[in-house]
Amino acid sequence: MPFYRRLGVVPPKRHTALRHEPGFRGEGIYYEEVLTLAGFGRAYSIAYHLRPPTRVRKVEEAGTLPLETVEQPTLRHHHLKTGPIRRGGDPVTGRVPLLVNEDVTLARCRPAEPQAELYRNATRDELLFVHRGSGRLETMFGVLPFRPFDYVVIPRCTTYRFDFDEGTPPDLLLIEAAGNVTIPPRYLNPDGQLRLGAPYYERDLHGPSETLIIDREGDTPVLIRDGQRLTRYVLANHPFDVAGWDGMVYPYTFNADDFEPITGTVHQPPPVHQTFEAPGFVVCTFAPRMLDTHPEAIKVPYAHSNVQADEVLYYVRGRFGSRRGVEEASITLHPRGIPHGPHPGTIAASRPVTRTDELAVMVDTVRPLLLTRQAMEMDDPNYPYSWLE
């Protein structure tokens, strides 16, 4: 979880009245809502609404988001060129699921339209990587600005609306986590602070910058997703009516360019790039960095057989020293049990190079990943043979 934050007005003591005259129906207070993780056992935030957050006028079916996985007859490497995915839908309906297991769904989204309805993922934390585009995420916690190369971490049950700036059409990678997305515990000292030497720290994490108080009685639909099921809740008032909140559950951003790379005289393994973790997977950021400085260093990664991990790379920017044929927005899946490594010629080509401007997001999963029907439509069947010449 990120660290404690407070925005707007809150009473001096939790669970006591925050006066507001005349208040809803003359009750003279703001209405407290407590968001807790793991029942009441983990991090929480307390928010203060103009109206009770429970005023539901209508509950209706809103269809499903089916997930079609494709049985693979062989174990092999995959290369998905996702850059040309046709734009469609909005930041919610336009998601194209590609790789899935019980712990995580990886999807791409190139929305064509603004977000049509407020949205809430009831069962998954959402980690969005903003490849292109900028704007604001609106939630009851306020306004959270985001920009290219931001990770936007949205805790489950946060109702939200993406508002993208005009200009650059948005291009997103979505990582939907069945467990809670957290800062790697090894980055924290026993006092809960990010350690000196961790690749980022508190000032690199950005929470909502200002409150958003929409004082509006009237039907407000919210699309709620739990698994593949969609339900539309019509609320009797706008849910973004929070005058203040405090706690440790809220959406926040971290920009990949703020990741402080750890380098050595020889190749450092992927855990030095770790950025987030969740049960069943980790997220790493391959940020621009100095390459290994030993005079005999081999500056691209050694070949390795993934042992007990499926490895996904999303290529964001720059020239990818160890790979040939990948392009921006390519996704490679190197599954467990078979080796992969630098492409022929890349070791020699890297000898005179002193730094890399590559930016890539890696997701390593404990359980095997399945490919969806949409993933297979953009799969390069010749990729397994790309190490031959």
Applying CB under 5 A, which residues contact Fe ion?
A: 311
CB 151 within 8 A of CB 127: yes
- Residue 4 is encoded by which pair of tokens? 């404690």
Minimum CB separation of residue 334 from Fe ion in Å reads 5
Q: Which is nearer to Fe ion, 258 or 311 (CB)?
A: 311
The neighbouring-strand residues paired with 96 are 108
Q: What is the DSSP letter of 58?
A: E
Minimum CB separation of residue 303 from Fe ion in Å reads 9
List b or e across 203-212, with b for residues whose CB sees 16 or more CB atoms inside 10 angstroms: ebbbbbeebb
Q: Which is nearer to Fe ion, 32 or 311 (CB)?
A: 311
* Straight-line distance from the first to the last Cα atom of the chain, in angstroms, rounded to the nearest whole number: 46
SS3 284: strand
Q: Which is nearer to Fe ion, 109 or 312 (CB)?
A: 312
Instruction: Compute φ and ψ for 273, nearest 5 degrees.
Output: -100, 5
Q: What is the residue type of 344?
A: P
Q: Which is nearer to Fe ion, 104 or 333 (CB)?
A: 333
Q: Which is nearer to Fe ion, 228 or 305 (CB)?
A: 305
Minimum CB separation of residue 218 from Fe ion in Å reads 52
Minimum CB separation of residue 197 from Fe ion in Å reads 25
Provide DSSP, 213-276: B---EEEEEEEEEETTEEEEEEEEE-S-BEEEEEES-S-EEEEGGG------SSPPPGGGGEEE
- Residue 353 is encoded by which pair of tokens? 């190079």
Q: Which is nearer to Fe ion, 132 or 336 (CB)?
A: 336
Q: Which is nearer to Fe ion, 220 or 386 (CB)?
A: 386
Minimum CB separation of residue 319 from Fe ion in Å reads 17
List b or e across 150-167, with b for residues whose CB sees 16 or more CB atoms inside 10 angstroms: bbbbbbbbbbbbbebeee
Q: Which is nearer to Fe ion, 269 or 345 (CB)?
A: 269
Q: Which is nearer to Fe ion, 63 or 271 (CB)?
A: 271
Minimum CB separation of residue 306 from Fe ion in Å reads 7
Q: How far is CA 341 from CA 15, 303, 324, 367, in A?
A: 56, 4, 11, 21
CA torsion angle for 49, 119, 35, 40 (degrees, to 10)?
150
Please state whether the peptide bond connecting residue 279 to the residue before it is cis, i.e. omega within 30 degrees of 0. Answer: no
Minimum CB separation of residue 283 from Fe ion in Å reads 15
- Residue 111 is encoded by which pair of tokens? 């929305």
- Residue 356 is encoded by which pair of tokens? 């890399």
Q: What is the residue type of 262?
A: I
Minimum CB separation of residue 375 from Fe ion in Å reads 19
Minimum CB separation of residue 200 from Fe ion in Å reads 23
Residue nearest to Fe ion (CB): 311
CB 222 within 8 A of CB 233: yes
